Amino acid sequence: MIGKTSVAKIVSMIAVFVCILSCVSLFAYAEENDVHGAPDAIPEGAKRLIEVYPEQSLRYVDGQIIFSDGTAMIYDDGKSKSFDEKLDQSDIEDMFSLTYSLAEKPGYLQDAGRSRCEPFFKKMYGNSKAEVRKQLVSVPWFGKRVKFTKVNGAAEQLRKVAEEIERDYPEMKKYMESSGTFVWRKVRGAERMSSHSYGIAIDIGVPFSDYWQWAYGKVAETAQIGYKNKIPLEIVRVFEKHGFVWGGRWYHFDTMHFEYRPEIVYDLKE
């Protein structure tokens, strides 16, 4: 028969043993984190991508964004770039170099969302016209229908935008006619792909629209230009709430243009 004291001894020995075991495993954990980068080392932009595009099952490992099929993309190429280079040769990190601002007039060269890392978008939405087209679905749009990608829930968010504007701002209908969504093409006057190529962008209200190149012609991207807009902000706020960037927030304004970029309007989440 074991006495009370012996029981107490055994219990305390077990407790010590468990304590030693957990200390050892804590050390092992810390070491593993050192090798693979502590969670704190994940850049803010990478965290956002992982959060807003759950369908992609993205991971950040050793300075790379990893897709579920193992495709890896360098997060930051380490190059310091001019304004033009950030548009034409954007890596993933460059997409986050500007903050999306709700200022009444965009500041000089404040174009948050205009930099797009092309391989990243092609990987998500399709590498060719045919590949992107396969992902398009039809979304009801103010009495008509428009094509939008179903990838990342973009079409679903666009459907919610239409529903909310129809319900809360029926008087805004005249601004809502779409002049286009999916077109596989390059940005006017540039070599990079337009976001319309991925089925994530919609142009609306052309008769009420302003575009910097219509207003100022072919000037350098870094030229000083003025600002114009006739699109009501009530409409804009509904789009933004559902993850869309508005081209009217850009110094290089394109006020008909809305684009599904939840990583850029991230801070506006309610």
Which positions touch Zn ion (CB under 5 A)?
201, 203, 257
Closest residue by Cα to residue 115 from 137, 139, 97, 140? 97
| Shortest distance in whole angstroms from residue 92 CB to Zn ion | 22
Q: How far is the CB of 178 from Zn ion (least distance, A)?
A: 10
- In the block, tokens 């609306």 appear at 204
Number of H helices, E strands in the chain: 8, 9
Yes or no: say if 65 and 46 are a contact pair by the CB < 8 Å rule.
yes
Q: How far is the CB of 211 from Zn ion (least distance, A)?
A: 9
Q: Which is nearer to Zn ion, 94 or 203 (CB)?
A: 203
Q: What span, in angstroms and rounded, lies between the C-alpha atoms of 136 and 178?
A: 16
Residue 87 CA to residue 195 CA, distance in Å, equals 12
* Cα–Cα dist 259/230, whole Å: 18
Q: Closer to Zn ion by CB, 221 or 259: give it.
A: 259
Are the C-beta atoms of 232 and 246 separated by less than 8 Å? no
Measured from the CB atom, the residue of 242 and 257 that comes closer to Zn ion is: 257
Cα–Cα distance measured from residue 197 to residue 181, given in angstroms and rounded to the nearest whole number: 9
Rounded to a whole number of angstroms, the minimum distance from the CB of residue 209 to Zn ion is: 10
Q: Measured from the CB atom, is 203 or 221 closer to Zn ion?
A: 203
Judged by CB, which is closer to Zn ion: 105, or 185? Answer: 185
CB of 124 to Zn ion, least distance (A): 18
Exposed / middle / buried, residue 238 (Cβ in 10 Å: 0-12, 13-18, 19+): buried
With both helix axes pointing from N to C terminus, report the angle between 154-168 and 233-241 in degrees, rounded to the nearest 10: 140
Cβ closer to Zn ion: 211 or 266? 211
- What is the closest distance, in whole angstroms, from the C-beta atom of residue 256 to Zn ion in the complex? 6
- Residue length of the chain: 270
Quote the strand ranges of the chain, DSSP E.
59-61, 64-66, 72-74, 136-141, 144-149, 178-180, 201-204, 244-246, 257-260
Residue nearer to Zn ion on the CB measure, 75 or 121: 121
Q: Report whether 202 contacts 181 (CB < 8 A).
A: yes
Residue 60 or 261 with smaller CB distance to Zn ion? 261
User: Of all residues in this chain, which one has the CB nearest to Zn ion in the complex?
Assistant: 257
Q: How far is the CB of 202 from Zn ion (least distance, A)?
A: 7
Write down the least CB distance from residue 203 to Zn ion, Å.
Answer: 4
**Could you give the CA distance from residue 64 to residue 46 in angstroms, rounded to a whole number?**
9
